[in-house]
Copies of this chain bind each other. A is one copy, B any other.
Amino acid sequence: MGGPRFEPVRAVRAYERVVEQIEEAIESGALSPGERLPSERELMVQLAVGRSTVREALRVLQARGLVRSRPGDPHGAEVLPFSPAALHKSMTTLARVEQLSLGELVQFRMVLDSAAILLAARLRTEEQLAEMNKAVEAMRAAAGTEPGAADTEAFGRADVAFHDAVVAASGNKLIQICTDVVRQIVLRQISARIDAADDRQALMRRSIQHHEEVIEAIRAGDGPLAARLSRRAMYDYYAPYVKESETSALRALLE
């Protein structure tokens, strides 16, 4: 015991070395978004590997969202600004193969969103508070006053804008990206059912009221209250779509 612990030597493929080199260059900042990689033939020469090896490496980097290459582009592959697309992809895969339930996803959002709101109540600036108010204003406009005049799509966009303003105020980019990713996954699962609801406009009005209450708590600096309100609002909004057996786990977050 305590002797040297040997690990099996994994045969590292040529294309992996290529991936590592380019990845390191990008993540270290030696290559910035917008800059171009050498052409495939040039890389082939510089790295002393075959064309297929270069191409397989570029595919992997493309799958990770780090570069993009287009046919005929004389400048070579383009280094992309970071996008959570790869994160989104792996979470979506996770949701499918691990059979993540809607309840788990909503629970995750309740946790992260309310945390963001708790932080936002402490750290927000006046400008950010104005952003939130503007978003709720847009929600009101989208919900309309005449029956049947609701613009579901605009309402959704305004809702996203509100949450973006909140997570921006929270100052935590990781929370921002994760809530965004999970929100999209949840919406993909139930957007059809939401669109089909015949009391959409009533749902919107309730949602707007909840948002107004949350904003008021944020304005007053009462983070715990704002967080509690937001969890309640999300529960009310999503619980109808969650399996009966899972709602108790959601309610556990409501105190």
Contact = CB atoms under 8 A, between A and B. Distances in A.
A195 to B, nearest CB: 16
Interface in A93-145: 93-94, 96-98, 100, 104-105, 107-108, 111-112, 115, 118-119, 122-123
Contact of A60 (B63, B182, B255): B63
A184 interface: no
A119 B253 contact: yes
| Stoichiometry (number of copies) | 2
User: What's the interface size class on A, roughly?
Assistant: 35 or more
Given A60-B60, A111-B111, A87 B91 contact: yes
A220 interface: no
Given A86-B90, A86-B93, A118-B252, A178 B178 contact: yes
Interface of A: 11, 15, 26-27, 52, 55-56, 59-60, 62-66, 71, 82, 84, 86-87, 89-91, 93-94, 96-98, 100, 104-105, 107-108, 111-112, 115, 118-119, 122-123, 171-175, 177-178, 182, 223-224, 249, 252-253, 255
